[in-house]
Structure 1
Amino acid sequence: MYFCPHQIEEMILSFYKYQGTGNDFVLVDNRHDIFPKNNTKLIRKLCDRKFGIGADGLILLENDETYDFKMIYYNADGNESTMCGNGGRCMVAFANFLGVIQQETTFIAIDGTHYASIEADVVNLQMQDVTTIENHDEHVFLDTGSPHHVTFKEEISQFDIKKEGAAIRYGAPYFEEGTNVNFVKKLSETEFRVRTYERGVEDETLSCGTGVTAVALAMHHLQETSANTVTLQVEGGSLEVSFEKEATSYKNIFLKGKATQVFKGEISC
């Protein structure tokens, strides 16, 4: 059951909770178009960790005439947002659980089409090609489906990421539109530690899929690694990003890691 069929104030929503390296989401099967997508207040409530289910975002799985399914992603602030890599991986696992797909899929999201494969609980998601990386004095900027500011941070374990991340997210040249902010420490030729401040969540998340993708490409661009497969250690575990460099562009970019169903339930809203 999704919503009560009668026009009463209280509605009952069936949902699933998924997480990918600690980046957690409320997932809803919206193939029958029952979710009130313009209700930002409801989405905020569902994502609230004290008064709702608790999540970094909410994702709807919908029918599509051309692709296996459509993914619609909302930040925890209730607003529809740009692509979410870990959310995309969780959506693939969810679609597999529902029987919408088997081991492979092509689906549509806000930034275009994505191919993915799943084996057990490991999802390998193809990200969009990246043709531009902006070099700045102390950071690089690129868009991997969502905008990302990438900068080095040697003392990565001990600093106020919410304060420093927010200052960059709202500062010039980003201002209100904002950006996600990634702090990076190099551990080896093929391994980097990453902490991410996410816009829309307005805090650190345990993992950010488009963020670690941006970091992997940025580190290769800056010649911090010559490898085409990079491991990113995040607060919620580890992810793998592989890619191919072609002239000044990056193609065949894949984000790989576990995506796990935590629980399912119903909530009055």
Structure 2
Amino acid sequence: MRVSFTKMHGLGNDFVVLDAREASLPDMTGAMARALADRRTGIGCDQVIVLEPSESADFRMRIFNSDGSEVGACGNASRAVAILHGEAARVETAGGAIAVEPRDGCAAVDMGLPRFGWEAIPLAYAMDTGAMPVGWGELENPMAVNVGNPHVVFFVEDANAVDLAALGSGIENDPLFPERINVNVASLAGPDHLALRVWERGAGLTRACGTGACATAVAAIRKRLVTSPVTISLPGGDLVIEWDGGGSGDGAGPIRMTGPASEAFRGSFEWDDFA
């Protein structure tokens, strides 16, 4: 069975997109996603995205990390899918429904409401998620927030000076996080401007992470370090995050992310070669 794919990226965070909305495909497995994502023997990507029909939205988006794990949200992929779809849409994800809208090479995504309760992250046991009494090496007292995916956010003097390649895996897989965790290290780069690096759960260091940018902006707004809108500078480029929550509650409204995404190329492969 020969299957077409579209290779896309958002700020260098890259995806293999399979469109099964009209012509169905066999069910994607973790092993197949790992094989497709392999940069030496497969197509190569950070995430495999599968678009499917939905009964509750315009379509469904499934997200598989390069290690084969299926996750609930991906901000960069949401922008890429908005551009591929070509018009505003409501999209079902495992992390909740989102709204996407393409805009001249960019896309805006309504990422839904952030969640801050320890059970919603989730953590292994109750604690204050606004300033967690834990640390790993030089990284201490993060804020935890779930934006469809679970994140911890550390604010440091210089995000680029942190050896995230050495620390990321240990934090991601700490028993405190029963579903593992995405790790964000951020520093102030100017008024309402943050520099960010992300260790992504199931993918490692990435050039950009849309949900990480959302989580970091929300954390910074809650800590009153910045006000909305916030520019988040990642190694792959900039995203703009808007959120009108702040304060100590669960937030007054949804997170809105705006940034670029683009198509790299199209191709096809034999399904059985990777199954």
TM over 0.5: yes
**Counterpart in 1 of 2:126?**
none
Residue of structure 2 aligned with 1:180, choices 179, 182, 191: 182
**Counterpart in 2 of 1:110?**
94
What SS does structure 2 have at the residue aligned with 1:14? Answer: strand
What SS does structure 2 have at the residue aligned with 1:88? Answer: helix
What SS does structure 1 have at the residue aligned with 2:245? Answer: strand
Residues 4 and 18 in structure 2, CA contact (< 8 A), matched pair in contact too: yes
What SS does structure 1 have at the residue aligned with 2:159? Answer: coil
**Counterpart in 1 of 2:84?**
94
Deviations 1:108-146 (A, max 9, x none): 111221112111111100012124261224211010110
**Counterpart in 2 of 1:82?**
72
What SS does structure 1 have at the residue aligned with 2:199? Answer: strand
Residue of structure 2 aligned with 1:122, choices 96, 99, 106: 106
Q: 1:246 to 1:40 in 2, by over 3 A?
A: closer
Q: Distance in 2 between matches of 1:224 and 1:66?
A: 38
Q: Distance in 2 between matches of 1:155 and 1:117?
A: 34
Of 204-213 and 154-163, the range deviating more from structure 2? 154-163
Q: 1:144 to 1:106 in 2, by over 3 A?
A: same
**Counterpart in 1 of 2:9?**
19
**Counterpart in 1 of 2:30?**
40
Q: Distance in 1 between matches of 2:28 and 2:106?
A: 32
**Counterpart in 2 of 1:200?**
202
Q: Distance in 2 between matches of 1:36 and 1:235?
A: 35
Deviations 1:3-61 (A, max 9, x none): 2xxxxxxxx32100110111110001112454332432221111111111111101111
Cα offset, 1:246, TM superposition: 7.0
Residue of structure 2 aligned with 1:28, choices 8, 13, 18: 18
Q: Distance in 2 between matches of 1:192 and 1:23?
A: 19
What SS does structure 1 have at the residue aligned with 2:208? Answer: coil
Cα offset, 1:87, TM superposition: 1.2
Residues 33 and 62 in structure 1, CA contact (< 8 A), matched pair in contact too: no
Of 231-240 and 112-121, the range deviating more from structure 2? 112-121
The one-letter code matched in structure 2 to 1:243 is W
Residues 28 and 59 in structure 1, CA contact (< 8 A), matched pair in contact too: yes
Q: Distance in 2 between matches of 1:196 and 1:41?
A: 25
TM-score, normalised on structure 1? 0.87
Q: Distance in 1 between matches of 2:71 and 2:201?
A: 10
Q: State the superposition RMSD in angstroms.
A: 1.7
Q: Distance in 2 between matches of 1:15 and 1:30?
A: 10
What SS does structure 2 have at the residue aligned with 1:249? Answer: coil
Cα offset, 1:89, TM superposition: 1.3
The one-letter code matched in structure 2 to 1:113 is A
- Return 5+ residue gaps in structure 2 as ranges: 118-128, 134-140
The one-letter code matched in structure 1 to 2:191 is E
Q: Distance in 2 between matches of 1:58 and 1:141?
A: 26
Identity of aligned residues (%): 29
Residues 222 and 246 in structure 2, CA contact (< 8 A), matched pair in contact too: no
The one-letter code matched in structure 1 to 2:35 is K
TM-score, normalised on structure 2? 0.86
Q: Distance in 2 between matches of 1:83 and 1:77?
A: 15
Alignment of 1:114-153 (within 5 A): 114-132=98-116, 134-135=129-130, 136-137=132-133, 138-153=141-156
Residues 224 and 246 in structure 2, CA contact (< 8 A), matched pair in contact too: no
Q: Distance in 2 between matches of 1:222 and 1:66?
A: 35
What SS does structure 1 have at the residue aligned with 2:265? Answer: strand
**Counterpart in 2 of 1:9?**
none
